[in-house]
Structure 1
Amino acid sequence: MKLNRRAFLKGAGAGVAASACASGLASSLFSFPAHAQSQGDYKALVCVFLYGGMDAHDVVLPYDQASYNQFKQVRQSLLTIQGSARQRENLLPLNPISHKQGNRQFALPPEMAGVKQLFDAGDAAIIGNVGPMIEPVSKAALEAKAVKLPPRLFSHNDQQAIWQSSAPEGAQTGWGGLFADHAASSNTGKTFTNISTDGSALFLTGNTVQSYQISTQGAAKIGILEHLSEDTEQAELEAALRHHFGKNTVNYDHLLHGDMSAILNNAYSANSAFDRATQAATQSISTTFPTGQLGGQLNAVAKTISLRKELGVSRQVFFVGMGGFDTHSNQAKSLPALLTQIDQGLVAFSQAMKEMGLHNNVTLFTASDFGRTLAVNGDGTDHGWGSHHFVMGGAVKGNDIYGTIPESTLGHERDAGGGRLIPDISVDQFAYPLGRWFGVSDAHLQHALPNLKHFTAPPLTFL
């Protein structure tokens, strides 16, 4: 193979992109301990972000006959398209232990039979009507414009950022990263504290800890080196480039050159260290994960958790992203397939944690831009606000619904219009028990969750 200049530059550019994205500036990256922290001391949070806005009305469904009839009246046009899948007799009824919702009953859709089993077994809980808020919001205050609201409500990019960081697009740190800032001191391999399978993640960006990115196949690769390694005639050039990416002793007069060099060198070293950890792995996983967007990423997370000893970590935060939830149209066809992916992925991940003996050590939770309207726009739904989310793991006080599930009608006190739910629980309130369980101090939680001080309700107790 002959490598011309254009091919070389193209490959080198890909290598720079992969390396620069793989890790931020870091120090003391790769001195691994000779033995692992005790398994009981390990903890991980896994955020599964559902991009586009999850229609919670079609996930936690009303089941008692009166509520279902109300729901059917509002959603008749969409239910007709959905057919038997949303008929009451085909739903999966829940029996939460607290019955905090009075006489109202709820169910999951038939695509989520596995999650229902996790819920019934006490391994999963539902948190009702969560969304970004600066301070508590009532319908009267909303209509009178007498309350502070998150900026640019119903905007995908801004609400994704606010969910992850309590600030709109352009935010610099996320609450997962700020949690990790506090917890990273217990890790020898600090670079591997925060790991994303979904590219650069605001959620994982802290003041001192950055995210390390992996693919579903493991560590990111430098394109030019992979290209060269295919041809033994290029061995000398490959060796030179590997030396270049791996060194960190070059002095640059220009500050930006030095920073870019440090990013590349650290990224290359991080990838090499991750590969070495993979090769030295002492724990394997036999659980079979489903193929697809979510299953592949959760498989990568599980495999990375299995390397906790080799990576030198006792606290980790993961970010997984899944798209497709902006269901303005064709919802009856697209959403069930997405829910099937969620169901199969979460069940496999739960099984993998049990297989590794880490069922009580890893807590997974879902998040999304916003919920969607109860009202139908034809064959889809529009941008909403509050939504319902799952929390899963052995530490979760499961088989229960926390918060409230508003009525499946229009015009009630939590309806901002069209069945767009006014949240009962803020993202900061939702995040607080996750941080406490993870080991973050109250003082640091107040810093990571700046709107928490505006809410006086007792903390959620799902962990």
Structure 2
Amino acid sequence: MDRRLFLRLFASATSGAMVIPNALSASTTRNKDSFHHENKVIFIQLNGGNDGLNTFIPYEDPLYYELRKTIAIPKEKLINRSNGIAFHPALKELANISQNGDLSLIQNVGYPNPNRSHFRSREIWQTASDSNEYITDGWLGRYLDHQYGDHSLSGINIDKTENLALKSEQINNITIKDLTRLHKSIQGTSKLVLSNNPQLDFVRKISYASAEGSKEISQALKKSQYSTGSYPNSALGNNLKWISKLVKSTLSTDVFYTSIGGFDTHRNQLFMHQRKLKEVNDAVYALYEDLKRDGFIENTTIVLFSEFGRRVKENGSGTDHGTAGPMVIIGGNNKGQIIGGNPNLRDLDHGDLKYQIDFRSVYASLLKDKLNFNPTLLDIQQNPLKGLF
């Protein structure tokens, strides 16, 4: 059986908290003086195709209200207006982060020949491929292979499913479904006992290594001198709370990933989108405040993105799949700017926004400026985005 497939099946059959064996060793921890000054990147994926035009609203363009008679956000409800762009009223705390100079908004992000399929567009974003190119490993997985090989816990995905962005040739990252259950799963762990049956011993070794990995994470969290702030009682809030604990622990992990669904707003968009944006706003602000309080926000970059935007014209009560959309960067000493022009509603590609900034140029900037890595080694040829960091 394929090793990676076996590990996935094994993890699903055990505690519900997947831990890849051999990814955790003594080399995965570091002392307090060294880890505090290293950069980390947290990715938050908005699944379903977030409507960027109703997230950061081009309120000065009359076409916005003409093309969205039902779902347009009234001007009097908008917040944080600047240069023709305003925040959705559900993003009150993100607007505060922007006022603090810790949030950069990147407009019109996409790629050539866009694909409107959720599955395929996510695959393009997660592998950093061209729209007609198919790559089996994720862009972050390739980075981890280059940088860490098979000897370090360098990437953690806290989610219900694995993420293609972290898929790699080596075993250097894990997907954890529930850290609370992971803690419980290590209780009563016994010593490794082998037999004369190679197949049985293989299973026992995996079980033992998984439990030892759980212990390693638990011990790292216990060693942390930092408390965790107050988080909203939501799936995203819980995931970000655990990510904060891990960022502030002694684990030598550079990359964290999680996601939130519900952004496929074909109908009833005003209510659905407001609810999802508030969930993101509350959870991300709690993470920001938590990391800022303990002095981690300057070395931690939070990235929010979706696989595509929505159509410019509403369909009656919602919007259909589109192309370009915004990305948000928080922390990491970003320059707190709006990068790229406001969405041009007069120059469309068959009813969709034309992309202005290739998402891979954002990746290149994160790799170069935050992870000290040459993006061309991952076949990312786009130049790093200027003005971000």
**TM-score where L is the length of structure 2:** 0.87
Shift of 1:132: 3.4
Secondary structure, counterpart of 1:23 in structure 2 = coil
Deviations 1:24-49 (A, max 9, x none): 35256245657334255321100000
Query: In the alignment, what sits opposite 2:246?
Result: 304
- The question of whether the paired residues in 2 share the 8 Å contact of 1:329 and 1:379 is answered with yes
3-state SS of paired residue (2:41): strand
- 4+ residue stretches of structure 1 with deviation over 6 A? none
1:230-269 deviation per Cα after TM superposition (whole angstroms, max 9, x unaligned): xxxxxxxxx6xx43xx638566545xx6765554332222
Indicate the SS of the match to 1:289: coil
Q: Which amino acid is 1:196 matched to?
A: N
Please identify the structure whose Cα radius of gyration is greater.
1
Of the three residues 440, 446, 456, the one matched with 2:376 is 446
How many angstroms does 1:204 deviate by?
Answer: 1.9
Paired residues for 1:354-433 under 5 Å: 354-398=292-336, 400-409=337-346, 412=347, 415-418=348-351, 420-433=352-365
Q: Is the contact made by 1:48 and 1:364 (CA closer than 8 Å) also made in structure 2? A: yes
Give secondary structure in 2 for the equivalent of 1:129. Answer: strand
Match of 1:43 among 18, 39, 42: 39
- The structure 1 residue matched to 2:210, chosen from 267, 283, 299, is 267
Counterpart in 2 of 1:130?
109
Name 1:247's counterpart in structure 2. Answer: 192
Displacement of 1:94 in angstroms is 3.4
- Say whether the 8 Å CA contact 2:24–2:216 is kept in structure 1: no
State whether residues 19 and 221 of structure 1, in contact with CA within 8 Å, keep that contact through their aligned partners in structure 2: no
* 1:196 aligns to 2:196 (yes or no): no
Distance 1:250 1:202 in 2: 36
SS state of the match for residue 156, structure 2?
strand
Could you say if the C-alpha distance between residues 63 and 78 of structure 1 is closer, same or farther in structure 2, counting changes exceeding 3 Å?
A: closer
In structure 2, list runs of 5 or more residues that go unmatched.
1-8
CA contact (8 A) 1:122 1:397 kept: yes
Task: Say which SS state the counterpart of residue 38 (structure 1) adopts.
Answer: helix
CA–CA distance in structure 2, aligned partners of residues 331 and 20 of structure 1:
33
Q: Can you list the C-alpha shifts for 1:181-228, whole angstroms capped at 9, x where unaligned?
A: 34448x9x822x211111311112233353223345446368xx69xx
Residues 408 and 260 of structure 1, relative CA distance in 2, 3 Å threshold: farther
Offset of residue 432 of structure 1: 0.7
* Alpha-carbon distance in 2 for matches of 1:387, 1:291: 28
Residue pairs, 1:20-419, within 5 angstroms = 22-26=18-22, 29-30=25-26, 35-64=31-60, 67=61, 69-79=62-72, 86-95=73-82, 105-133=84-112, 149=113, 153-167=115-129, 171-184=135-148, 190-191=152-153, 193-198=154-159, 199-215=161-177, 217-218=179-180, 220=182, 242-243=189-190, 247=192, 253=198, 261-285=204-228, 287-307=229-249, 309=250, 311=251, 313=252, 315-398=253-336, 400-409=337-346, 412=347, 415-418=348-351
Alignment of 1:4-19 (within 5 A): 17-18=13-14
Distance 2:203 2:12 in 1: 9
TM-score (structure 1 length as normaliser): 0.74
SS in 2 for 1:390: strand
Deviation at 1:113, TM superposition (A): 1.2
Counterpart contact for 1:216–1:296, Cα < 8 Å: no
* Paired amino acid for 1:279: K
Deviation at 1:87, TM superposition (A): 1.2
**Secondary structure of residue in 2 paired with 1:76:** coil
Pair 356,258 (structure 1): closer, same or farther in 2 beyond 3 Å: same
Query: Alpha carbons of 1:363 and 1:15: their partners in 2 closer, same or farther (altered >3 Å)?
Result: closer
Q: Number of residues paired by the alignment?
A: 378
**Is contact 1:50–1:366 with CA below 8 Å preserved after alignment?**
yes
**Aligned with 2:32: secondary structure?**
coil
Q: 2:67 is aligned with what amino acid?
A: V
Higher helix share: 1
Q: 1:248 to 1:108 in 2, by over 3 A?
A: farther
**Structure 1 Cα separation of the partners of residues 11 and 110 of structure 2:** 39
Find the counterpart in structure 1 of residue 3 from structure 2.
none
Instruction: Report the aligned-residue RMSD.
Output: 2.9
Tell me by how many angstroms 1:374 deviates. 1.0
Distance of 1:43 and 1:371 partners within structure 2: 29
Offset of residue 381 of structure 1: 0.6
**8 Å contact from structure 1 (residues 216, 300) kept in 2:** no
Given the superposition, is the C-alpha separation of residues 260 and 170 from structure 1 closer, same or farther in structure 2, using an over 3 Å criterion? farther
Structure 2 letter corresponding to 1:118: I
CA contact (8 A) 2:140 2:167 kept: yes
Give the 3 Å change call, closer, same or farther, for CA 179–63 of structure 1 in structure 2: same
- 2:102 aligned partner, one-letter code: D
